[in-house]
Structure 1
Amino acid sequence: MLESSSSSNSGVAKVSDLPGSILINIFGRLPLKTVINCKFVCKSWRSLISDSYFYQVYSHHIPTTVFFEVKEMSSSLLNLKEISVIDRQSCGIAKMQLTTNSRDHVVDIRNMNIQLGNGCNGLICLRGVKTGEPSLIWNPITRQVIVVPKPATTADDNNVVAGFGLCGHTNRYKVLRIFHKKRDPPSRWRVEIYDLGTGNKWREIGDAPFPIPSTIPGFFINNTLHWNLDKNNKRNDHVNANNNNSLICGFDFIEENFKAIKAPPIFSSHKKNKYHWSNLGIIGNFLSICAIDAKAFRPDIQVWVMEKYGVPESWALRFSIRDFFIDWCNPYRSIQVINIRDNDEILMLCANHFVKLYNLRERRFRTVEIFDFPVIAHVPSFVSLKDVFREHPWGSG
């Protein structure tokens, strides 16, 4: 027998007697709402669930579980009170209200115009709408937020590229900014890093070798933030010539340098003009790329996965979708494969509004949900930002 409360019967085991590793394994298989409730049972459970290791366990068992709507780009985004949760069995979506411990709220942030940046371990970098500058680090599940200090060097335009990632060697989060100064040559883009949790200043580490797109957030995996390079940008010609059409670039948060990543063979020189768009993504623990040939009403979509990170020969075609009827508006530029289920169904987010299931055996789509506002797919984290970044100014939603 196993009980959660103390008992005078020495023959009865208590939940508190279980090792932390076993409890994390149990919690990692529970529905999101149950996990949130468990966090408020006792201090030891709160500590386990708030640990960054628990995020790794939880995201392994439930690759992506929530969507939240982005109704407006302002500080009101931080007041997120409702999310849409995917059921692991039926893949249906249910609404869930978020409740937050009032002790986590210290300062109210007002009148900030912000937009979404990239995520890392369930935390999201928020950027200024006009400047693109990294402004806040946000946990949408706990509704905690920390302020990123303003850099001393001012960019001369509104095309700042903001990035956020984790250095696996030091277990320290870092914020990245790529920017152009007025007196610099047009091809020069400076790079600065801020180490969260240290109280240090922004530091310049050199220049970016590629023109990084400023409007599309990157994807973080393997200590590296990844972006799609614009194949039509002439500044990338030398990259493609030297790296066999490397459409992907990455910033390594351990080495603090950039690298070109060779694309799948579908993007070889004689095929690159066939595929109009490509979208990066993360499937499980693998970097993925979605190649799209946008023929009218008969598109060809191929999803490739890098099975061994950093090894170009390990790119493998996971699945291909051809000749299906498009019943949503202009999805081509934004098709995100969220995960692949055991029953050969693929969960996809199309055009940031439509959640679809595609059955590989039956070769047909099923609509799961249509949102009125754009949504992002998110793996929840219960990490307490107060514990991770003790030396930073605080805000709350």
Structure 2
Amino acid sequence: MSSCSRTKAQRSARCRRNNNGLSSSPAKIVADLDDVLLHILSFLPIKTLIRCKRVSKHWRSLITDPNFSNRIISSKHPLPISGFYLQGKRKGIQIRLSRRRNHPTPLIVVQSTNGLLLGLCTCPTNQFDRNYYVYNPTTKHKTLLPPVTMSDHVSLSLAFDPSQSPHYKVFCLRKTTNSSFYFASDLYYLEVYSSNEGPWRRVVSVPSFPLPPTVNKLGNTVFWNGAVLWFGPNTRDCLSFDINLEKIKTLPLPFPDHQEPTDVGTLRFMDQSRGNLYFIEVNDQSSSDLPVYEMDRNGSTWSLKYHVDLEPVAAAFPEMVMPDYNTDRWIYAFSVIGFVKGEMDAESYIVLHIPEKAVKYNFIDKTFEKLCSFEPSQDDGVDNFYGSRRSFQFIESLANV
């Protein structure tokens, strides 16, 4: 054997020995290299990680592994808001739901929770024929939920906290009629679908219950602090269901100056950002004061957190002031797109939708700026700008669906 061959063989043998003098297998060496690679990848933005999946099949398998996505979520929790979906009354988000066929209607987003969307598609020939999906807009992956019987269906809500579990749950609030010879009353119960357990099942720990008289017309929903919240357009309280304790209760909502909520002309918005729950209730569209309430982390008390002064915003963007022909007065035409809680309080802001524009308003220093412009739409009446325009958070995530 030549000296050159002996040198290569000795060097190779040394490379396969660890500090204890024991031999390392090629699989162990590759595993060690993967650990280093995963550590490096964990510092990359989500969009960059999506592109890195194209490098090789091996990289794709590493990045799409649930353990890696959980590692990313843990290191970057809470995940920052990257943007918002803005949805009109009759328009949804067009998403390709199948490689073999497209659903005939767009996906109507119902809720956004920590990077996942809950949405539905209706059949044009039968509005009661609905398909519900859980969709990750970052990875473009989706799951069709088991069919939901529409006869007693009231509202669905998505619960997903990636810091606690890689699995999500969807809760369905259903209605049944409790009838007797003397009276008939509506009772409600819950069913749950789990991404790791499968089909719908009754939440047996929550008996059938009547809605409190201060809760009605449920439809909007938020997942916050381990609880699903359902609220309506003119209710004094919302339903709160703790998904871990499996207990349901009513949560009072704040009202400015002890005003009663009304069906017409009421702006109502509730959402969470970075673990904080916010609520807006305004009954006077001519008022330039927009109060923002924040819930404490115990989920028991609201406090007035911010005031948004609409007058300087309207001075800069006069198109947001419109005449109200029903009351013969001038009113502010806008809707709330969302809240963004910054790492520091000075970085927190609200995004407002005014005619053809989105405006960012900083809570602390009261500064504001135009974020973007929208194309003019036939829907751009005052009714579409005051509290009726739906919006949902977009958060980049590698969560599996």
Specify the TM-score bucket, using the shorter chain as the normaliser. 0.5 to 0.7
Q: How far is the alpha carbon of 1:78 from its aligned partner?
A: 1.5
Q: How far is the alpha carbon of 1:110 from its aligned partner?
A: 2.5
Q: How far is the alpha carbon of 1:219 from its aligned partner?
A: 1.5
Q: How far is the alpha carbon of 1:106 from its aligned partner?
A: 5.9
Map of 1:394 onto structure 2: none
Distance (whole Å) between structure 2 residues aligned to residue 148 and residue 48 of structure 1? 21
Evaluate the alpha carbon distance shift between residue 107 and residue 178 of structure 1 in structure 2; reply closer, same or farther with a 3 A threshold. Answer: farther
How many equivalent residue pairs? 321
Map of 1:377 onto structure 2: 393
Name the stretch that deviates more: 270-279 or 255-264: 270-279
Q: How far is the alpha carbon of 1:137 from its aligned partner?
A: 1.1
Distance (whole Å) between structure 1 residues aligned to residue 87 and residue 308 of structure 2? 29
Evaluate the alpha carbon distance shift between residue 55 and residue 341 of structure 1 in structure 2; reply closer, same or farther with a 3 A threshold. Answer: closer
Distance (whole Å) between structure 1 residues aligned to residue 155 and residue 77 of structure 2? 27
Map of 1:100 onto structure 2: none
Out of 259, 269, 277, the residue aligned to residue 272 of structure 1 is 259
Within-5 A mapping of 1:177-326: 177-181=172-176, 185=184, 187-203=186-202, 205=204, 206-210=207-211, 211=215, 213-216=217-220, 218-230=221-233, 232=234, 247-263=237-253, 267=255, 271-273=258-260, 276-292=266-282, 294-296=284-286, 298-312=287-301, 315-324=302-311, 325-326=313-314
2:63 is equivalent to residue 63 of structure 1: no
Map of 1:86 onto structure 2: none
Task: Give 2:201's aligned amino acid.
Answer: W
Q: Report which of the two structures shows the higher radius of gyration computed on alpha carbons.
A: 2
Secondary structure, counterpart of 1:248 in structure 2 = strand
Conservation of the 8 A alpha-carbon contact between 1:64 and 1:378: yes
Q: Deviation string for 1:37-94 (max 9, x for gaps)? A: 234441324437962452354453x5210334558756x72139xxxxxxxxxxxxxx
Q: How far is the alpha carbon of 1:229 from its aligned partner?
A: 4.6
Map of 1:337 onto structure 2: 339
Conservation of the 8 A alpha-carbon contact between 1:154 and 1:181: no
Conservation of the 8 A alpha-carbon contact between 2:96 and 2:103: no
- Of structures 1 and 2, the one scoring higher in RCO (CA 8 A, sep 6+) is 1
Secondary structure, counterpart of 2:168 in structure 1 = strand
Structure 2 gap segments, 5+ residues each: 1-11, 16-31, 322-331, 378-388
Within-5 A mapping of 1:351-390: 354-360=357-363, 363-372=366-375, 376-385=392-401
Distance (whole Å) between structure 1 residues aligned to residue 219 and residue 354 of structure 2? 16
What TM-score does the superposition give when structure 1 sets the normalisation length?
Answer: 0.65
Evaluate the alpha carbon distance shift between residue 122 and residue 274 of structure 1 in structure 2; reply closer, same or farther with a 3 A threshold. Answer: closer
Q: How far is the alpha carbon of 1:109 from its aligned partner?
A: 4.7
Evaluate the alpha carbon distance shift between residue 359 and residue 253 of structure 1 in structure 2; reply closer, same or farther with a 3 A threshold. Answer: closer
Out of 132, 151, 155, the residue aligned to residue 155 of structure 1 is 151
Evaluate the alpha carbon distance shift between residue 155 and residue 21 of structure 1 in structure 2; reply closer, same or farther with a 3 A threshold. Answer: farther
Evaluate the alpha carbon distance shift between residue 351 and residue 161 of structure 1 in structure 2; reply closer, same or farther with a 3 A threshold. Answer: farther
Q: How far is the alpha carbon of 1:138 from its aligned partner?
A: 0.9
Distance (whole Å) between structure 2 residues aligned to residue 139 and residue 255 of structure 1? 27
Conservation of the 8 A alpha-carbon contact between 1:70 and 1:77: no
Secondary structure, counterpart of 1:33 in structure 2 = helix
- What RMSD, in angstroms, separates the aligned Cα atoms of the two structures? 4.0
Name the stretch that deviates more: 127-136 or 301-310: 127-136
Q: How far is the alpha carbon of 1:292 from its aligned partner?
A: 3.0
Q: Deviation string for 1:245-280 (max 9, x for gaps)? A: xx333222223332222445xx38x52349954321
Name the stretch that deviates more: 359-368 or 283-292: 359-368
Map of 2:103 onto structure 1: 110
Distance (whole Å) between structure 1 residues aligned to residue 197 and residue 310 of structure 2? 53
Q: How far is the alpha carbon of 1:186 from its aligned partner?
A: 5.0
Q: How far is the alpha carbon of 1:368 from its aligned partner?
A: 0.5
Q: How far is the alpha carbon of 1:141 from its aligned partner?
A: 1.6
Map of 1:4 onto structure 2: none
Structure 1 gap segments, 5+ residues each: 1-7, 81-104, 237-246, 386-397
Q: How far is the alpha carbon of 1:118 from its aligned partner?
A: 1.4
Evaluate the alpha carbon distance shift between residue 51 and residue 169 of structure 1 in structure 2; reply closer, same or farther with a 3 A threshold. Answer: closer
Secondary structure, counterpart of 1:348 in structure 2 = strand
Q: Deviation string for 1:4-32 (max 9, x for gaps)? A: xxxx9x9xxx98554856753x23xx3x5
Task: Give 1:346's aligned amino acid.
Answer: Y
Distance (whole Å) between structure 1 residues aligned to residue 101 and residue 145 of structure 2? 15
Q: How far is the alpha carbon of 1:183 from its aligned partner?
A: 7.7
Distance (whole Å) between structure 2 residues aligned to residue 295 and residue 73 of structure 1? 25
Q: How far is the alpha carbon of 1:334 from its aligned partner?
A: 3.6
Conservation of the 8 A alpha-carbon contact between 2:41 and 2:49: no
